[in-house]
Amino acid sequence: MFYSSKNRKLGSIDFHNKTIIPIEYDGISNWVEYGPEAHFVKKGTKYGIIDYNTGKLIIPVEYDGIDVHKGVIEIKKNNSYGVISWKNEEIIPCTYDRVFVDLDYFGFEKNHKDRIFAKKDNVWYAFLMNGKLLKSNVSTVEIDSDFLKYEPDSNEYRYHLKDCMVFTK
């Protein structure tokens, strides 16, 4: 597979010059870590995820920001945050002020429980990975302090995909 560019748009082609990913995107990432064989794609100011073998959208190009995790995707849309599955099914509605998916990726943390934290109107909520509410009024002591120090949309924050994407000049 090769990136392909035409009229300042990006896509991909195979060894036989067959288009796999339509040449209509403003940006394409190198790959999606912790997810399926896919690329992030950008059209205008919106992001989605596309299968790099078939060129079919996995997640529609409608989000202001996306961050992937094992089995779930944090999303940002209209200044609100939520969580969806890799099958584009809602886990946490996109109505929260902040979202944090707290996973132990490598199994190093003793007694770690994978959870999703979401904040709305200055109240934190804890959810299971399937979206079931565990607790409301969660103390920030229970939430990873490294996450809490980042402001949404700051350069350090996770929704900046430009660092992993290819763009045309």
What is the Cα–Cα distance from 12 to 28, expressed in whole angstroms?
9
How far, rounded to the nearest angstrom, does the alpha carbon of residue 98 sit from its chain's CA centroid?
13
The pLDDT of residue 44 is 93
Domain with CATH 2.40.10.480 in the chain: 65-164
Q: Which residues contact 26 (CB under 8 A, 6 or more apart)?
A: 8, 9, 10, 42, 43, 44, 167, 168
Q: What pTM was computed for the model?
A: 0.84
CATH fold label, 65-164? Thrombin, subunit H (2.40.10)
**Residue 90 β-bridge partners:** 84
SS3 category, 162? helix
Residue-level length of the chain: 169
Residue with tokens 């994407």: 165
The pLDDT of residue 107 is 62
Residue type, 158: R
The pLDDT of residue 56 is 96
Q: How many CB atoms lie within 10 A of CB 106?
A: 6
pLDDT tens per residue, the chain (169 residues)? Answer: 788 889 999 999 999 999 999 999 999 987 766 667 888 899 999 999 999 899 999 999 999 988 888 889 999 999 999 999 999 999 999 999 999 888 776 566 677 788 999 999 999 999 999 999 999 999 888 776 656 665 655 544 454 455 566 677 6
The pLDDT of residue 34 is 63
What is the Cα–Cα distance from 138 to 100, expressed in whole angstroms?
13
What is the Cα–Cα distance from 74 to 57, expressed in whole angstroms?
17
The pLDDT of residue 164 is 64
